[in-house]
Structure 1
């Protein structure tokens, strides 16, 4: 994880490869849903881009997290949902079209919003020992490794639809394997920090995960959205792209210690995802039972 070739070339290329795979799953119709059903998409967008960083900031202050942990949590909150949220939405039988649309939109917008969150976090929590963070370099880095590959993937999907649909599943598998390798690398390099602050980081990650999901559920209730849309918002706001967060910490900021939070979160987020899937399965069976009772 320390070699410049790995951190500056191989890791960004791997994330770009994953983002290209995401682009293969998208079409222009995913973005047209903005106009067709604006309420759930705008709600999810505000939850991811605004509410989530504010929630992370509140957790950092309330728990008095150490500098690396606080900055790592803020970076994680600044990242979009990623392909994991789409898989969970599918398993939970949520609104997959809404999930894909939110993932695509937040992945694009985070190129412009994440650098400001990161700069604020470093400036606020690093205190007397700030690192040199350039908004321009972070924005350009995210542009090259996320936005451009997504657009390129969509273009390829437009010309080679059948091939894109066929191979997109392999990109998802690569994303999972790559995430596991990233977690392993962070654990090996930063094991001392993880051992020392695991309880603190574990609780912070759980709070971020469950708090974000709660934001999605409450927002849906307030706006009287459907149960399916509420479940989707909980998943999209509650699950962050920890792979991107680790890449930002390691490759763009050259601070592997910040990636510890994203590494731990990569494990804890599946607790929340599992509960959502179980809840969705339970409510689905209840609805079916009620329907059968009413029919009789």
Structure 2
């Protein structure tokens, strides 16, 4: 894909704004919860950083996905959660503090783990041609568009708390609108491949979402955390940052075909969370 103003400046710039909005909702106590609630946080980190990528790899192999779709699926699994998971946790009356903590910590860790996993995935699935991918430039890019804006947002939150809380909903809406715009652009650019591969991609994306959500619940049960924390882990492990996955594919790797899976996932990722929210509400409203 040729470099354009959109891929090189607008796309990273808007995502940086979205990450700044995430920072507006964070403070230092969100990181200290690793000490206060270590079991739930550690289980969530293991689920997102290890089990989710392994599950995505198994799905890609099981469905015998084309290399572009398989790599796209792995990019999704390599990304951290986003503000969407925090919003869903709030709606589900789950442990919002745990959700925010996991999002914050994985955002930092994924600056290192995401490029490594993508590098492995490209080497594993794309053996017919060479794909230009740089670990260093991707890590630096993630640092610039994710970590630095989050830190700036946290600094603004610390100094102007009321203004930051008022501004946060705007950035949440920006994140949703921007993701839908990206999905539309990718769908148009790769319409020929999408028309052919859509049934398989849809099934893969839905399986990743629902399967990862279920894995989160299983991990919570095995680790004996509370039911409320279990719902949170299901949401966090099952809901990844599709916008970031699209940016990595389109801007860093310059392979829009890799973004097809992320675009479809951006729509299907609400399914697992919706089922979980409905189940959670039915339990909370059930007569004793």
Moved segments of 4+, more than 2 Å: none
Aligned counterpart, 1:111 = 111
The alpha-carbon deviation at position 132 of structure 1 amounts to: 1.6
Task: Output one character per residue of 1:26-57: Cα deviation in whole Å (capped at 9) or x when no partner.
Answer: 00011111100000000001100111110011
Whether 1:242 and 2:211 are equivalent positions in the alignment is no
Q: Deviation per CA, 1:179-234: give whole Å up to 9, x if none.
A: 11101101111111111001111111111111111111111111111110000000
> Is residue 214 of structure 1 aligned with residue 218 of structure 2?
no
> Is the partner of 1:27 in helix, strand or coil?
coil
- Residue number in structure 2 paired with 1:4: 4
C-alpha distance after superposition, 1:69-115 (max 9, x if no partner) = 00000000000110000011011110000000001111111111000
For residues 1-296 of structure 1, what are the structure 2 equivalents within 5 Å? 4-286=4-286, 289-290=287-288
CA change 1:58–1:208 in 2 (3 A) is: same
Distance in 1 (alpha carbons) for counterparts of 2:191 and 2:270: 21
- Aligned counterparts of 1:3 and 1:135: Cα–Cα separation in 2: 19
TM-score by length of 1: 0.96
1:132 alignment partner, SS class: coil
Q: Which string of whole-angstrom CA distances, capped at 9 and with x for unpartnered residues, describes residues 98-156 of structure 1? A: 00000111111111100000000111111020212110011011010111111111111
1:278 Cα deviation (Å)?
Answer: 0.6
Deviation at 1:2, TM superposition (A): 5.6
Q: Is the 8 A contact 2:27 2:157 kept in 1?
A: yes
**Alpha-carbon distance in 2 for matches of 1:169, 1:143:** 24
Mark the structure with the bigger radius of gyration.
Answer: 1
User: Which deviations, in whole Å up to 9, do the C-alpha atoms of 1:249-268 show, x marking residues without a partner?
Assistant: 00111011110001100111
Aligned residues: 288
Unaligned segments of structure 2, at least 5 residues? none
Aligned-CA RMSD value: 1.0
